[in-house]
Structure 1
């Protein structure tokens, strides 16, 4: 998939080195096709890392995608240079009159914090409400998934102690769903969180479908009955060393973290992790884009408002 991004986005150079086709705005102007318009609300502090991870996963179909990044204005990132945000990110006021085929709401390091105590909670709520009439399909990821289930369905997360960290086996519950085309019956994916919702909470809401779960990690993927909302609690976009870097960070802080489950060979942090989630993660994003965005979105993206 040629991903259309602004010229000089740092992720562009990383992805090109991985032989991933990234198209600049100038080149895209010569193609007479309508790209899918995907907006990413990036709530992670390490924004460039998250940009690269997500763009990598959006890169493997013949579709052209125009990706825009959205930031909150009620809270300014302390870990990303302001010049990067000024050049590559938009505010809600800049996009509120536009329509999008897809929206991705990322996770955020907000374990043990009530939604209403989050600095930008009101702004995120405004964006989620706006998405009902301006976005064809939304992909909520990790904290974004918890926030979405709480805002749209009143389902509240609960703390999980100790923190869930590692690579877990998942079972597909809706094997005929287009989301899982090409998947094996079981797949592996990383988790890194100290919160959870239960299977019973999902099954109690008739407008939601439980799509995949893990015996150890619990609820993994949920979607709305109309397939306009996806809630994903595993991190299939993670790099090989993401959990390793988190483990080192927490160790250096004196937090005495547990070694991530099923991650380091022989549970030895001196050994390099072996990736067993990359292919399933690629299919997850590709299938979402193809079957739930591209195949069903209006040709005129402005028509989203009438859905």
Structure 2
């Protein structure tokens, strides 16, 4: 699939070097097709790194995608150059009048922060509610998945005594669901979080289904009945080195973190990571784009119907 992103975005050079088809702005403008419009709300501190991870995941279908990058507010970033944000990111006020075929909201390192203490919590709730009327299908990752389940369904997260960190086996629980097409019965996914969602609380809502979970990491994939909302508790988009970088960062800060489980060869950091999650990560994003963005979105986005009303807080 060609992803249409700005020529000067750092991800363009990185992904082109990985033999991923990135379509330049000039060529994209000459294509006589209606591309999918996908909005990415990037909440991670290292935005360039996360951009590359997400865009890589969007690159494995024959669909053309136009991508808009969104920032949650105008606070100065400590980890991303302001000139990068000014050049490539939009504010919510710049996009709130638009409709999108799909939206991805990333995780954020806020697992131990109370909802009301998150500095952009009010804006976050506004965007989650806005997506119900302006986006055909929304994919929430990790912290964003927990925030959306709380905002939309009143399902609160539970803080664990220790951080879940590592790569864990998962089981498919809903084999006939389109999102699970092509999945093995057992597959691996990276996790890096302090919170989890109780499966019984998900089951109490007739509109939600657990598609996959893990004995060690708990609930992983939750989808609404219509498939327009997908909640992903892990990080299928992670690069091979991401958990290693997090572990070394925490060690350097004197935090004495546990070694990420099932991640290093022989569970020894000096042996480097064993990568075994990327095929299913790519498959998840491809299935989402195909079955719940491309095949369900109206050709004319002005005809987009709101998501069915939920028992919102």
Aligned to 2:158: 158
The answer to whether the 8 Å contact 2:100/2:134 transfers is yes
- For residues 289 and 61 of structure 2, what CA distance do their matches in structure 1 show? 9
Residue 3 (structure 2) aligns with: 3
- Aligned structure 1 segments of 4 or more residues deviating by more than 4 angstroms: none
* Alignment-derived partner of residue 43 in structure 1: 43
Give ranges in structure 2 of 5+ residues lacking alignment: 308-313
How far apart are the structure 1 equivalents of 2:148 and 2:76?
A: 21
Distance 1:102 1:256 in 2: 39
Tell me the SS of whatever aligns to 2:56. Answer: helix
Distance apart, 1:306 and its partner CA: 5.9
Contact map agreement 2:101 2:137 (CA 8 A) in 1: yes
Residue deviations 1:146-182, cap 9 Å, x none?
0000000011111112100000000001111110111
TM-score, normalised on structure 2? Answer: 0.96
Residue 270 of structure 1 aligns to a residue whose secondary structure is: helix
Structure 2 residue aligned with 1:292: 292
Report the 3-state secondary structure (helix = DSSP H, G, I; strand = E; otherwise coil) of the residue aligned with 2:152: helix
For residues 186 and 83 of structure 2, the distance between their equivalents in structure 1, rounded to whole angstroms, comes to 43
Which string of whole-angstrom CA distances, capped at 9 and with x for unpartnered residues, describes residues 243-283 of structure 1?
Answer: 00000000000000000000111111101111100100000
- Secondary structure of the 1:220 match is strand
Contact residue 162 and residue 194 of structure 1 kept, 8 A: yes
Task: Return the TM-score normalized by structure 1.
Answer: 0.98
In structure 2, the partner of 1:258 is 258
Q: Name the structure 1 match of 2:137.
A: 137
Per-residue CA deviation, residues 157-212 of structure 1 (Å, 9 max, x unaligned), is 11112100000000001111110111111110000001111111111111111110
Kindly indicate whether the alpha-carbon contact (under 8 Å) linking 1:74 and 1:119 is maintained by their aligned counterparts in 2.
no
Alpha-carbon distance between aligned partners in 2 of 1:160 and 1:109, rounded to the nearest angstrom: 15
Other structure's SS at 2:159 match:
strand
Distance 1:200 1:74, change over 3 A: farther
Deviation at 1:305, TM superposition (A): 4.4
Whether contact under 8 Å (2:71, 2:91) holds in the other structure is yes
Matched residues in 1 for 2:194 and 2:306: separation? Answer: 39
- Residue 242 of structure 1 is matched in structure 2 by 242
C-alpha RMSD of matched pairs (Å): 1.0
| CA contact 1:74–1:123 (8 Å) conserved in 2 | no
Say which SS state the counterpart of residue 140 (structure 2) adopts. strand
Count the aligned residue pairs. Answer: 307
Alignment gaps of 5+ in structure 1 = none
CA distance in 2, matches of 1:5, 1:193: 30
1:1-307 aligned at under 5 Å gives the runs: 1-73=1-73, 75-305=75-305
Q: Secondary structure at the match of 1:190?
A: strand
Contact kept in structure 2, 1:221 and 1:233, CA below 8 Å: yes
